[in-house]
Structure 1
Amino acid sequence: MQKLTRADLLSLERYAAERVQFRARAIAHKRARTLHLGEHATLLFEDRLTVQYQVQEMLRVERIFEAAGIDGELAAYNPLIPDGGNLKATVLFEYTDEAARRRALATLGGIEHRFFAGVEGFPPIPAHADEDLDRSTDAKTSAVHFLRFEFAPDEVAGLRGGAGLSFGIDDPRMPLRATVGEPLRSALLADFD
């Protein structure tokens, strides 16, 4: 999947004119790329469109229009676009009550390193978490993390052949696993092209 360049982005003026439609399309696209592992843990699988939406929103909010600033946003967000042999996801630990969220995050330090992908017939694939900067300590974790799952060619071939796909957390503090169904499965398989 190609990384974004300045040429792929809409100007602030054009984005303002097209934002309602672009945002609706991006939100629907993100919804189809979301896997709820449990009540409080969600994976949003990133791709070129989800990243473009994030960059466009950052440029709009920060009023960034100079080339250096745009390049900085692209450098920050382009690593979230899959590279053909991997899947990349944003983890969201979601709690409606802020106090409950603080309490829960205070007990989950390091949990982002316990995520895995499962391809039927293969050993679990451990996630590479927060490669840009640490978002967790032994005492607490952040509500948002970024994961990369590297798949071997035989694992991708297995998926293309119909092997089951799941994601989860191998940690007694939040032991979760969810099987990927359609249409998410097809979307993720396309990320390997």
Structure 2
Amino acid sequence: MEKLTRDDLYSLEKYSEVRPEFRSKVLAHKKHRKVALGPNATLYFEDRLTMQYQIQEMLRAERIFEAEGIEDELAAYNPLIPDGSNWKATFMIEVSDPEERKQLLARLVGVEDKVWVRVGEHPAVYAIADEDLERETEEKTSSVHFLRFELTPEMVDAIRNGAGVSAGIDHPEFPHQVELPSAVARSLAADLD
């Protein structure tokens, strides 16, 4: 997938005009890119459209219109666009109660390295986590991690030919496994073009 450039972005003024329609489009798109991994963990698979939306929202919220600020946002979010041989995802541990969240994050140290995807009968591919910066300490993990799942050419061919996809977590405190709905697998297959 092509990385985003300034030419791909709306000006703040234009974005305010198109935002409702663009937001609806992105939210519909995201429905087929979200996977619940247990009761409190979710994978949000990213792509060019989800990152354009994220950048546009950041520019809007921060009122960024100068070239340097826009380039900073592009540099921050372009790495989350798949490269054609991988899937990239935001992994979130979502617990609303602060004390419960604190306890869970303390039990889940290292969970980001235990998240995997599997294409058909191929071996599981474990995430390469947080390439931008370390997000955990010895005492706790973060509630947000950025993951990359690097696929072999055989896996890419299998997904293009309709192979099923599953995902899971092998952490002893939080073991989960799910089959991805076919609509999600089809959406992810588009990342491999």
Common topology (TM > 0.5): yes
Instruction: Could you tell me which runs of 5 or more consecutive residues in structure 1 were left unpaired when the two chains were aligned.
Output: none
**Cross-structure match for 2:75:** 75
1:88-128 residue CA offsets vs partner (Å, 9 max, x unmatched): 00001111322211221122111101111112222111110
Provide the TM-score with structure 2 as the length reference.
0.96
> In the alignment, is residue 5 of structure 1 matched against residue 43 of structure 2?
no
Equivalent positions of 1:32-111 (< 5 A) are 32-111=32-111
**Cross-structure match for 1:186:** 186
CA distance in 2, matches of 1:15, 1:104: 39
The alpha-carbon deviation at position 11 of structure 1 amounts to 0.3
Count of residues in correspondence between the two structures: 193
Instruction: Could you tell me which runs of 5 or more consecutive residues in structure 2 were left unpaired when the two chains were aligned.
Output: none
CA distance in 2, matches of 1:160, 1:29: 19
CA distance in 2, matches of 1:125, 1:45: 15
% identity of equivalent residues = 54
Classify the secondary structure of the residue corresponding to 1:88: strand
CA distance in 2, matches of 1:40, 1:27: 21
Task: Verify the 8 A CA contact 2:108 2:171 in the aligned structure 1.
Answer: no
CA distance in 1, matches of 2:79, 2:155: 22
CA distance in 2, matches of 1:69, 1:162: 41
Classify the secondary structure of the residue corresponding to 1:184: helix
1:114-143 residue CA offsets vs partner (Å, 9 max, x unmatched): 111112222111110000001112210111
Runs of 4+ with >6 A deviation: none
